[in-house]
A = this chain, B = another copy of it.
Amino acid sequence: MTPEQAIRLLEEHRDEIDQIDLAILERLNERARVVERIGAIKKEARLPIYEPKREDAVFRNVTRGNQGPLSEAAVRRLFERIIDEMRTLQRERMEKENEA
């Protein structure tokens, strides 16, 4: 492989990653919208917001569904971050509603 060929191949792969990232981002925002709907339902039905058992189910779903190359530990850390950001978003929304 010449350096020119390598650089062209890298470019192509990076474009592919950029597309994948936008698809991941779209799904993350979609997930956030569903979490917001869940929050609204819980609020109306006066159900508890935080349910640790549900979090376990989320981790079970993704670790079972994982076919790699990411390790189970990596998948767990990634979804810990995702859950955490969803919680942050809900907290920010509630603070805004309470201010209003």
Q: Which residues of A contact B (CB under 8 A)?
A: 1, 3, 6-7, 9-10, 13-14, 16-18, 20-25, 27-38, 41-42, 44-45, 47, 54, 57-58, 61-62, 65-71, 74-75, 77-79, 81-82, 85, 88-89, 92
B17 and A24 within 8 A (CB): no
Q: A1-B45, A34-B16, A38-B10 are in contact. Are A25 and B85 (CB under 8 A)?
A: no
Please classify the interface of chain A as helix (H, G, I), strand (E, B), loop, or mixed, using the class held by over half of its residues: helix
A21 and B31 within 8 A (CB): yes
A54–chain B nearest beta-carbon distance, Å: 7
A20 and B44 within 8 A (CB): no
Residues of B within 8 A of A22 (CB): 61-62, 65
